[in-house]
């Protein structure tokens, strides 16, 4: 089993994008990369804690590779934006890969280099690649948010 951490805007959409992927076992949204302990959503949204809205995912590395996870992550957000995604603005919405091993760091940096050289994006990739720190789980109402909203309306959003 492997663990990966990605931040790329509002964590609801990033989590939803990974939840039905074969090989992804479990997802959880939360906060990482800041300088305060036990941040709340309100704290993080103040754009003063330094945390990014982050997804933690557990995956079966025999069923899906870290590179495949990177490909999915980059398809779910605009990695050229700095401190924003769409209408969401602030450092909590920055694009970050929080690596847990030297191999993850190397794979992420290689992938970003390839994407920059590919011409796929109109600007250089702004995604940070930094060591994983303490992951602070978000409040329960944020977990699997899009699935909960779909259930509330009696239908799936996906």
- Which pLDDT belongs to residue 144? 80
In a domain, 138, yes or no: yes
* Confidence band of 146 (pLDDT split at 50, 70, 90): confident
- Which pLDDT belongs to residue 153? 45
In a domain, 101, yes or no: yes
In a domain, 157, yes or no: no
In a domain, 158, yes or no: no
Is 126:82 a contact under the CB 8 Å cutoff? yes
Average pLDDT over residues 4-8: 97
Average pLDDT over residues 23-36: 96
Give catalytic residue positions.
10
In a domain, 105, yes or no: yes
Average pLDDT over residues 76-101: 95
In this structure, what DSSP letter does residue 138 have? P
Average pLDDT over residues 123-146: 91
Q: What is the CATH number of the domain that holds 130?
A: 3.30.1060.10
Average pLDDT over residues 113-127: 94
Is 105:129 a contact under the CB 8 Å cutoff? yes
- CA 85, CA 22: separation in Å to the nearest integer? 26
DSSP string, 115-132: HHHHT-SSS----EEEE-
- Which pLDDT belongs to residue 149? 67
Question: Average model confidence (pLDDT) for the chain?
Answer: 92
**What is the extent of the structural domain holding 30?**
2-152
Number of domains in the chain: 1
In a domain, 82, yes or no: yes
- Which pLDDT belongs to residue 139? 87
Q: Which of 22-26, 29-33, 135-139, 154-158 has the lowest mean pLDDT?
A: 154-158
Angle at 155 between CA 153 and CA 157, to 5 degrees: 100
- Which pLDDT belongs to residue 150? 62
């Amino acid at each position: 089993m492997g663990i990966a951490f990605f931040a790329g805007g509002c964590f609801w959409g990033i989590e939803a994008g990974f939840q039905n992927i074969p090989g992804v076992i479990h997802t959880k949204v939360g906060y990482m990369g800041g300088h305060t302990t036990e941040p709340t959503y309100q704290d993080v949204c103040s754009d003063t804690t330094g945390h990014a809205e982050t997804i933690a995912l557990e995956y079966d590395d025999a069923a899906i590779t870290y590179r495949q996870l990177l490909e999915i992550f980059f398809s779910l957000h605009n990695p050229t934006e700095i401190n924003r995604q769409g209408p969401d603005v602030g450092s909590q919405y920055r694009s970050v890969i929080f690596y847990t091993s030297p191999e993850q760091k190397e794979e992420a940096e290689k992938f970003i280099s390839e994407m920059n050289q590919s011409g796929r994006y109109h600007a250089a990739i702004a995604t940070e690649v930094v060591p994983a720190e303490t992951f602070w789980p978000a409040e329960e109402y944020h977990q699997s948010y899009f699935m909960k909203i779909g259930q509330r309306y009696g239908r799936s959003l996906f």
